[in-house]
A and B are shown apart, each in its own frame.
Chain A
Amino acid sequence: MSMPALLDLYRVQARMAVQQQLQYRMRNAMVLVGFLTEPVVYLAVWTAVAKENGGSVGGWTSGTLAAYFIVWTLVRSMNVVFTPYGFEWRIRTGQMSASLLRPRHPVHYDLAYFAGSKVVWFVMWLPIAAALALLFRPTLRPEAVEVLVFVVAIVGAYLIRSLLQWLIGMVTFWTTRVGALFEIYMVAELMLSGRLVPMSLMPSWVRDVAGWLPFKWTFGFPIEVLVGDLGTRALLLGLATQAAWIAATAGLLALAWRGAVRRYSAVGN
């Protein structure tokens, strides 16, 4: 299969995703409402802390905190990927057998499908962002270059998070169950990515640990590109680090895949 054919695959998968997501408008809207509680709770807590502290906490005012967590909602909805639970289901029910018969590596189908569904999610996100902005009054004045880097960084974040969760999902080739491992991943992500709180509010040793791990490139970095004031060097360095993590996770995935396929014996039907 050639490169144009691969692009074709992505185009078709993405279009299918858009059409399928459009069928479940009400369902998607409900899921989005459930999603929103998380950042709104974090925002309320840290705004309360800032107020208690006389207006700001660690340099964050209620305006910049609002900006952080509103951009968070966009990054989060662009960050939704195929989960290890989905992987577990495929393995347990034997669906993986069908995927293995396809001419391309199955990861391409997932990457393309979830990328396509982002179109629908983005449209649904727009009115929500407007409502949040009216309610919380964010302070957000990004420069043009920051917006540009943000768009690229979101794609990077999507790829890193997809590949990481695919890797964890692949554990089910050996174990069939993945719940416990995935929960550890979720807690690590919560603490070390800027999902729970801007990383600058974490103790410095936590920040040091986070610097060596992929998590903050999936949440904190894209958000701070837009909300913070990173400077050209930090922006480019960030994109380069994202690229390095994509290469590393993709390499690991290719390597693990060989072992996994050899190991596979269809469970289920």
Chain B
Amino acid sequence: MRALRLIALHLRVVAMYEMQYRMNFFLQLFQSALATGTGLVVLALVYAQVDELRGWSRPELLVVLGVFTIIGGVLESVVKPNLVRFMEEVADGRLDFVLAKPVDAQLLISIRAVRFWQAVDVLVGAVVLGVGASRLTPRPGALAVLGFAAGLLFAVVILYSFLLILATSAFWFVRVDSFVETFDGVFQAGRWPIGIYPGWLRTGLTVVVPVGFAVTVPAELLTDRSGWVTLAAEAALAAALAGLARLCWRLGLRRYGGASA
């Protein structure tokens, strides 16, 4: 309960701050539209040549693009800004101030820095998802939609935990900001269902960097490609990664020397 109140409080502060810069909303909308437009053009180019790509129809790939944009928006607006700030603080010792506060430090470092307007991506992604989903035949049932929502939630947990594990390596290596850049590159692979990639890459995008897995599974659930077994596997992966992230966090804190180091 206290955690929820804390999250709401931080969000309100961020919102109040960012409302001063309303122009940024239009800039962000413009950038999101540009990125999504590019994605749509690529789909048009592909489906000018074929009717189906490895069994995926055009509306189905629209769903994948929507999911990709939504998850990307969550990462850009909430997950990454927080972790980048955390890594900087580990490097220069300011993390002391966080550790001195009487709440769980992992919670605190995950909710402080939110890029408010970047959340426009989530809206744009939802529109793309909606258009794609409305053209699906047969229409997805209520159960599929429910599974999809759960899948989306697990996907965010998976990617948050994965990025937190990367970020906690700052406790050992200090300067790790290039990991984030590399992740940005690899994340782009999520634009397409992992089924279109060659086997070694599919394995990599599932096991090593679970990007493809995270984006593809919700889309598969909505388009009736996979069922409860996959959802259970995704839930298990989310739980395992969240646990591992917590472990890395604890070990890292023990290793952290503070501002005097």
Contact = CB atoms under 8 A, between A and B. Distances in A.
Interface string B21-59: 000000100110010011001100110111011100000
Contacts of B27: 179-180
Interface string B9-27: 0000000000000000001
A135 B198 contact: yes
A196 B37 CA distance: 14
Nearest to B187: A37
Interface residues of B, number: 33
Contact of B50 (A31, A49, A184): A49
A27 interface: yes
A40 interface: yes
B207 to A, nearest CB: 16
B123 interface: no
Interface in A142-165: none
B34 A34 contact: no
B188 A44 contact: no
B197 A44 contact: yes
A202 interface: yes
A36 B185 contact: yes
Given A49-B49, A52-B52, A33 B182 contact: yes
A197 B38 CA distance: 13
B196 A45 contact: yes
Contact of B188 (A41, A183, A203): A41
Contacts of B34: 183-184, 187
Interface of B is mostly: helix
Contacts of B196: 44-45, 48
B191 A41 contact: yes
A26 B31 CA distance: 31
Contacts of B185: 33-38
A58 interface: yes
A30 B182 contact: yes
Nearest to B185: A34
Nearest to B31: A183
Given A31-B178, A180-B31, A187-B34, A49 B53 contact: yes
A190 interface: yes
Interface string B159-178: 00000000000000000001
Given A45-B42, A45-B53, A184-B34, 14 more contacts: A27-B178, A30-B182, A34-B183, A37-B186, A37-B189, A41-B188, A44-B192, A48-B54, A52-B50, A58-B49, A179-B27, A183-B34, A187-B34, A197-B42
Interface of B: 27, 30-31, 34, 37-38, 41-42, 45-46, 48-50, 52-54, 178-179, 181-186, 188-189, 191-192, 196-198, 200-201
17 contacts: A27-B178, A33-B185, A34-B181, A37-B186, A37-B189, A41-B191, A44-B201, A45-B42, A45-B46, A49-B49, A52-B49, A57-B49, A135-B200, A184-B34, A191-B41, A196-B42, A203-B48
